Amino acid sequence: MDTLEAIKTRRATKKFDRSYKMTPEQVKSLMEHAILSPTSYNQQNWRFITATEQSVKDQISKAARDQPQPSDGSLVIILCGNMDAWKEDPLRYWKNHPLEKQKTVKNALHRKYADSLRNRRDEAIRSCGIAAQTIMLAARQMDLDSCPMAGFEYDELAKVINLPENHLIVLMIVIGKATEPANLRGGQLSIDNIVFENKF
């Protein structure tokens, strides 16, 4: 499937086939592609919780206000941002490059995030948003369907996954096989409502 086809056929799946199970190899391949998503300064500040065990998926569904997708899908991925990634051994983010470059990045990360919770949160959200689309498009290529979800009780889900204090849950994605074709699209806005040339 080419990329444009994957973009067009990705839909928010509401009904997953409960009997369909991804193999561990499929899950691994999906996550290996997910981590090729871009992040600012290559800080790789996403952390992914992957759940395939039924009892965990059921707890996630409960935290998601009893929405059925996590329970019914094969894999649930909870995308979290580590807001302290910028300072956790940052030289490793450019380990393939000379030390000089590694130190330049470390200093830049410090300048941007040390004194700004807003920058740390924004970066978590940016990185996870981009990774989310990577995951959903990669899933299409693997002939799988997905549903992005943010309808959950934050504190309840945080408890289920043992979320560390300095991490932010951004969204979750359920992956599996749809049992029925997607609903009619809600209705996209026209391009001239949302795209402006050069300035607003």
Ligand X SMILES: Cc1cc2nc3c(=O)[nH]c(=O)nc-3n(C[C@H](O)[C@H](O)[C@H](O)COP(=O)(O)O)c2cc1C
DSSP code of residue 94: G
Q: Does 12 contact ligand X by CB under 6 A?
A: yes
Q: Which residue is nearest to ligand X (CB)?
A: 151
Burial 167-199 (b: 16+ CB within 10 A, else e): bbbbbbbbbbbbeeeeeeeeeeeeeeeeeeeee
Name the 3-class secondary structure at 72.
helix
Return the number of the residue (80 or 105) whose C-beta is nearest ligand X.
80
Report d(CA 135, CA 138) in Å as an integer: 5
Please identify which residue in 76, 138, 147, 178 interacts with ligand X, judged by CB under 6 A.
147
To ligand X, the closest distance from the beta carbon of 79 in angstroms equals: 10
Looking at 22, 30, 149, 168, which residue binds ligand X (CB under 6 A)?
149
Choose, by CB under 6 A, the member of 85, 171, 174, 175 that binds ligand X. Answer: 171
Asked whether 78 and 52 are in contact (CB, 8 A), the reply is: no
Q: Does 182 contact ligand X by CB under 6 A?
A: yes
Site string for ligand X, 63-102 (x = CB under 6 A): ----x-----------------------------------
Tokens of 144: 């799988």
